[in-house]
Structure 1
């Protein structure tokens, strides 16, 4: 069996000995597969080299969104492909319909990055509310202007935080925010039980009410029908003046130009997140140099601990496949017959 792993390139592997999701480490699958007579090929190429490797691959492992976009045309050329595994969470870079039509199962390591992304949400909320980035920039620039840094710095305590989507990441974000003594609203397709709401410290709200009442809005929902450009110019206009928006969900949930305009005008107090559209973000992406942002590259779900969980999950899925078994049910995104 041939496994092709499309992973992050690492220009300096000697400096990054703990990065498992790289072409150099290959999620530490190489030796494990070789012992059983199977082959692992790692690459970060997305062109002809990758297409050549896919022609006889039975399993493809890919990090979320980059570098591989596995569309219908590429899937149809991979005649032996039986299983696609996202090394992490978020599989909308794979055409699931095209895959299942050809008898291919799509799986991901559900829950592997939940803690990592939830912590990143809290980090970026605090970075915005406390005006951290401009204050840090003063250090780099050799300045010392407390009034300028403090003018837009606030306490998080007493604020209203709205969380859109209360799945695993949204719920853990709420748990981490609860000690800050904030009022937390949430909106989700399925309302939580009263017991869950009590434990998490949240109160259910309609989406429009949440957006208009929250000082901080945190998007923790998948990209799906109805969520693309959820935050367009009209919806941003209904947010509180100076509210902060955090999005570690999907870049396309926010309208690119409308966001930049809102940050430039001060309509929003700031924007943070680590998801972009497209990814990787080009050097001239409108968000890179807009004011009032605390953006990072898309790395929140790739902490060293998350990568360890991802590697273990990918290995589990592959071992089950070798035994002729399906992935665990909670790992399956799409399967033949869906």
Structure 2
């Protein structure tokens, strides 16, 4: 399968106790992918503080919302029992934020893709004690990975923790666009009933050509889930071909030219990491090559698709729909163009908050995986190879554009 990192040896020993900074929903020093955690470990004891997204009443009443500042990935007692400081907060923007205040002496940073603490090269330069960054979830584009390589900071994520969750969300998004579900439900809420207004833009998925940009852990699972729908053809665009047996199992054909790929698809779904090579990948120029009336789904990263170009393509009728849960800025501003963008018939918008990979099932997996990564680090044990994005001074994956 594409995007699989290679193995590395044990991590460098460290001396406890340390300071963990969590930029998610609770006072822990780490930041994750969805509820966004930012954890820092510091060689000294200090006050507990965490940077995470606030879970509010929902987190108070539902303890399985582990990716929040309230429930703190469920690891506070475990860390504090070993004498480590666990800082959790949702404050991550600006020089006065908890994130920037505590990153200077943190040893471990935990973040999430859902409320990420953006670790820039400038912040890395100030983080003299930082040794390990953990993404509680999948996707570490909120970290300047090149700067991490140069500084000898390791970057790990909980690979596979939410791939099923996201793949299922992709399938839901495809169906709600193709079947024109959102306008139909809005009609019912308004108390109206005009079947023809909905049916004129509702189609079957059967017989359509569906393609994924990226055929890694998520993209491949999307292809698997498309099989029962009897699509005309399944396509994929990726820098590397699938193993022959894997491609045969889903009967998917690789198209090496991106413009040629999108020109053949009725539905395009984006399932690739964000890096220099995919930033703004779906732009005005590429959208010209999409089939007129096609649908686009993006649950990867918002910045892969140019928001203004997508909105314009919807308004012109070139795109019939756009759905996903990722935004170029998170939380998305109230006036973000993709909150209200519509197709020529007033539908075609399936956008939601970034939650596809943070179901309660996924949170249990990425919380457990985060604890395992930290436990391995503290006990100087080898990490699971598939979780390592940046080892000591080098990349251990090709998923972020390293070729």
Pick the TM interval, shorter chain: over 0.9
Q: Partners in 1 of 2:275 and 2:105 — Cα distance? A: 32
Aligned to 2:22: 5
Aligned to 2:76: 30
What secondary structure sits across from 2:235 in the alignment? Answer: strand
Give a deviation string over 1:16-56, Cα, whole Å, max 9, x none. 32200011111011111122222211111114222333233
1:18 counterpart = 2:64: yes
The partner residue of 2:354 within 289, 298, 313 is: 298
**Cα pair 2:153 2:393 within 8 Å, conserved:** no
Aligned to 2:252: 202
Q: Partners in 1 of 2:149 and 2:235 — Cα distance? A: 37
**Cα pair 1:175 1:201 within 8 Å, conserved:** no
Alpha-carbon spacing, 1:190–1:74, altered in 2? closer, same or farther (3 Å) = same
Q: Partners in 2 of 1:260 and 1:302 — Cα distance? A: 26
**Cα pair 1:247 1:275 within 8 Å, conserved:** yes
Stretches of structure 2 that go unaligned for 5 or more consecutive residues are: 1-17, 25-52, 343-347, 395-403
Aligned to 1:327: 383
1:173 counterpart = 2:222: yes
Aligned to 1:57: 106
Deviation at 1:61, TM superposition (A): 0.5
1:97 counterpart = 2:146: yes
Aligned to 1:79: 128
Deviation at 1:193, TM superposition (A): 2.6
1:317 counterpart = 2:317: no
**Cα pair 1:65 1:93 within 8 Å, conserved:** no
Aligned to 2:310: 259
The partner residue of 1:246 within 297, 305, 310 is: 297
Decide which moves more: 234-243 or 61-70: 61-70
Stretches of structure 1 that go unaligned for 5 or more consecutive residues are: none
Aligned to 1:144: 193
RMSD: 1.4
Q: Partners in 1 of 2:261 and 2:147 — Cα distance? A: 37
Deviation at 1:99, TM superposition (A): 2.3
Deviation at 1:297, TM superposition (A): 1.1
Aligned to 1:232: 283
Q: Partners in 1 of 2:60 and 2:375 — Cα distance? A: 29
Q: Partners in 1 of 2:149 and 2:243 — Cα distance? A: 34
Q: Partners in 1 of 2:393 and 2:104 — Cα distance? A: 24
Q: Partners in 2 of 1:233 and 1:75 — Cα distance? A: 34
Deviation at 1:78, TM superposition (A): 2.2
Q: Partners in 2 of 1:180 and 1:199 — Cα distance? A: 15
What secondary structure sits across from 2:105 in the alignment? Answer: coil
**Cα pair 1:45 1:67 within 8 Å, conserved:** no
Q: Partners in 2 of 1:53 and 1:255 — Cα distance? A: 33
**Cα pair 2:114 2:355 within 8 Å, conserved:** no
Deviation at 1:326, TM superposition (A): 4.5
What secondary structure sits across from 2:21 in the alignment? Answer: strand
Aligned to 1:279: 330
1:190 counterpart = 2:236: no
Give a deviation string over 1:227-257, Cα, whole Å, max 9, x none. 2222212211111110001111111121221
Deviation at 1:77, TM superposition (A): 2.1
Q: Partners in 1 of 2:74 and 2:378 — Cα distance? A: 17
Runs ≥4 in structure 1, deviation > 6 angstroms? none
Deviation at 1:337, TM superposition (A): 2.1
Deviation at 1:302, TM superposition (A): 0.5
What secondary structure sits across from 1:287 in the alignment? Answer: helix
Aligned to 1:336: 392
